[in-house]
A and B are shown apart, each in its own frame.
Chain A
Amino acid sequence: MSTASVATTSSGYLLVLAVMWPVIGILLSFVVSGRQIERLAWIVLPVGLVIAGATLIAVTQAGQSQIYVVGNWAPPLGIALRADGISVAMMMATAIVICVTGVFAHGEFSQPPGGPEERAPVVFWVLLFAIWSALNALVLGSDLFNLYVALELLTFAAVPLVCLKGKKETVEAALRYMLFALIGSVLYLLGAAMIYGAYGTLDIRLLSERGHAEPATLIAASLMTIGLLAKTALVPLHLWLPPAHAGAPAPGSAMLSALVVKGSFFVIIRIWFDAMPDLLSFRAAQLLGALGAAAILLGSVLALRQQRLKLLIAYSTIAQIGYLFFVFPLAAGLATGVAWSGIAWTASWLQLFSHAFAKAAMFMAAGLIAEALGHDRIAELGGIGRKLPITMLAFALSGLSLVGVPPSGGFSAKWLLLLATVMEGQWWWAVVIVLGGLLAGGYIFMVLGRLLASPTEVPALQAPVSRWRECAALSLAICAVLLGIWPLQSSDFLFIGR
C-alpha cells in the first residue's frame, strides 16, 4: 500500500469515538458527584458497547480495514488509527468484558447509602473507563510510539486497580507490578528509538515495506519484545503477576487477567506479524514458543500447589498466556503464505478471547465465594456449591473452557493448535498442549471437587450474595462456552486488513 492511498474511510470516525468515549466518561466523572458516577457508568458502558459493535459491523461489511487519519496528515508525518479484523475482535471482547465487569462491580463499588462518600468507588469507575480507552487506543494504534503511549496509559490505569483496597500486601504487589512495567516500557521505548533511527518512521505499514532483517532491527525488536514480555508476564518475567492479580478486588482481577495482559501481547503480535514480518526467523519463533511452553508447565504446576483460590487462578493465567505464544512458531509462515499458518493464527485468537471470558468469569466467581465465606482457602471451600449454585456453575463452565473440554472456546482453540502442530510438523508443542490440558484439569477439578463436596455441615454464609452479580459471572462463562461454536477452521474475519 502506498502512502497516498492512506485516507480516512467512511466509518473512520467510529475509531476516534471508541478511544474518546471512555475519556469523556472520565472527564464527566470529575464533574458529577461521587454518587452519580455509577449512574454515569450506566450510560458510558452501553454506548461504548454499541460503538464497538458498530465498528465490528463496519469492518465486516467493508471487508477491509477502517482507517482514520488524524488531522488528515498521512503517515509518516501524521498518525493513523486503523481497525483491522483482529483489532475489532479485541475491541468487541474488551467491550463485553468491561460491560459485564461494570454490572458485577455494582454493589461492591457503589457508594454506601446514607454514609459519607467513599473514595474507592470513584477511583474504580475512573480506572475502568481509563482501561477501556487505553485498550481501544492500543488495538487501533498503527504507530509504534502511539502504541507506547497507549501501553503506558494501560499500565497507569491497571496498577492502582491492584491496590484499591489499600492493604499493605496489595500496595507491595502494585509496586512490584509498576517496577516490572517500568522496565518494560523503557525497553520498548529504546527499541522504538532504534527503529526510528534506522528507518525514519514508526508507522507500522510503512515499516513493513521499508524494514528488512538486519542486526539493528533485530536488536530493536528484541528489546521491544522483552519489554512487552515483562508486561505480559510471560515466564521468566511473571513474578509480579500472582500477587497483583490475586490481591486486586474481584472486578479488578477480572479486567487485569482478562484484558490488560492481552494488551501488551497484542503489541508483540503487531511488531512481529505486522511491522516486521520478515524478521520472524525460525529460531526467534522457536524461542518465543519455548518460553510459552515453559509458562504452561510452570504456571500449571504452581497452580496445583496453591492453597488459596485467587492465587490458583492467577497462576492459571500465567499458564494460559503461554498458549498464546505458540502463534510465533506455528503461524510464522503467515508472511510467506504457508497455508496451514491460518489455523494457528485463528487458534491463538480464539484462545485469547475464550481465556479472556473464562478467566474474568472465574475471578468473579472466586470473588463471590471469598465474599460469601470471608476467605478463599481451597481446603475449606467444602460444600459452598450448594449455597451458591450459580457461582459454582460459572466457575465450572469457565474451568471447562480453560481445560479444553468440548464444547467450549478453550477446546476449539486447543484443538486447532494441535491441528496446526501436526500440519506444521512441530509435534513437540503438541506434547506441551496436551500436558498443559491435563495439568489444568488437575487444578480445576481439585477446586470443583471441593465446591461439589457434601460435607457434614454446609458452611454458613458471612454475607449475602447478590443474584445479579452471580449472573454476571455466569454470562461471561457462557460467552466462553459459546465460542466453541466457532467453526473449526481458519477464520477469514481475523484476516481482514492483512
Chain B
Amino acid sequence: MNSATLFGFCSAAIVGLGLFGLIVSPHPLRRILAFNLLGSGVFLFFGVVARRGAAAGLGADPVPQALVITGIVVAFSATALAVALVLRLFALTDEAAPTSEADPKAGAEGGHS
C-alpha cells in the first residue's frame, strides 16, 4: 500500500466520521464541528488526488492544492456564519452561552457584533 492509498483510506474514514456526527448529533455546535471534520476529510482527499497526479501523469498536481485553499476559505466563512447564528440564537433564548458557563453575557455580546 502506497502513501496515496493510505491517505485515501484516512480521508474516507474522516468523511465517514464527519457525516455520522452531522446526521446523529442534535446540537448545532457539534454539527458545525462535524461539518468541519467532514470538510477536512474532503481536503485530505484533494491532497490524495494531487499526490496521485490526476492530470496526465504529472508527479504532483498543483491544481487540487489551489482548490483546497479556496475550499478552506469557503469552509471558514461558512463556519463563521453558522457560529454567528448559533451565538445569536443563544442570546435570544437566554441560555448559558457556549463559551463560558459563568458569564452568559459574553456569548450574547458576541452574537450582536
Contact = CB atoms under 8 A, between A and B. Distances in A.
A186 B42 contact: yes
B46 to A, nearest CB: 5
Main SS at interface, chain B:
helix
A168 B42 contact: no
A175 B28 contact: yes
Contacts of B42: 186, 189-190, 193
Interface in A456-475: none
Q: Pick from A159, A183, A185, A193 the residue with the most CB of B within 10 Å.
A: A193
Interface residues of B, number: 36
A103 B61 CA distance: 49
A197 B89 CA distance: 40
Interface string B71-98: 1001101100110011011001100000
B15 A190 contact: yes
A151 B69 CA distance: 17
B38 A186 contact: yes
A76 B28 CA distance: 39
Nearest to B86: A175
B1 interface: no
B78 A172 contact: no
B70 interface: yes
B87 to A, nearest CB: 10
A493 B61 CA distance: 40
B74 A149 contact: yes
B93 A168 contact: yes
Contacts of A145: 67, 70
A87 B38 CA distance: 32
B74 A152 contact: yes
A179 B28 contact: yes
A153 to B, nearest CB: 9
A200 interface: yes
B39 interface: yes
Given A145-B70, A168-B93, A193-B42, A175 B56 contact: no
Given A193-B49, A196-B54, A174 B85 contact: yes
Contact of B85 (A152, A175, A186): A175
A197 B54 contact: yes
Contacts of B92: 168, 171
A168 B92 CA distance: 6
A178 B89 contact: no
Contact of A175 (B52, B55, B74, B89): B89
Interface in B95-113: none
Interface string B51-63: 0101110000101
A193 B86 CA distance: 30
A58 B28 CA distance: 47
B96 to A, nearest CB: 16
A76 B58 CA distance: 14
A395 to B, nearest CB: 32
Nearest to A200: B55
- Give the size range of A's interface with the partner: 20 to 34
Contacts of A175: 28, 82, 85-86, 89
A76 B63 CA distance: 10
Contacts of A186: 18, 35, 38-39, 42, 75
A423 interface: no
A172 B74 contact: no
Nearest to A199: B54
A156 interface: yes
A155 B15 CA distance: 22
A172 B85 CA distance: 8
B66 to A, nearest CB: 9
Contacts of A172: 89
Interface string A156-179: 100110010010100110110011
15 contacts: A152-B77, A156-B81, A159-B85, A163-B88, A166-B88, A171-B85, A171-B89, A172-B89, A174-B85, A175-B85, A175-B86, A182-B82, A189-B71, A193-B64, A200-B54
Interface of A: 76, 145, 148-149, 152, 155-156, 159-160, 163, 166, 168, 171-172, 174-175, 178-179, 182-183, 185-186, 189-190, 192-194, 196-201
Interface of B: 15, 18, 22, 28, 31-32, 35, 38-39, 42, 45-46, 48-49, 52, 54-56, 61, 63-64, 67, 70-71, 74-75, 77-78, 81-82, 85-86, 88-89, 92-93
Given A171-B89, A186-B39, A194-B45, 20 more contacts: A145-B67, A159-B81, A163-B85, A171-B92, A179-B31, A179-B35, A179-B82, A182-B32, A182-B35, A186-B18, A186-B75, A189-B42, A190-B42, A190-B45, A193-B67, A196-B64, A197-B49, A197-B52, A197-B54, A199-B54
Give the 6 A-B residue pairs with the shortest CB-CB distance, closest first.
A200-B55, A197-B49, A200-B54, A168-B92, A175-B85, A182-B35
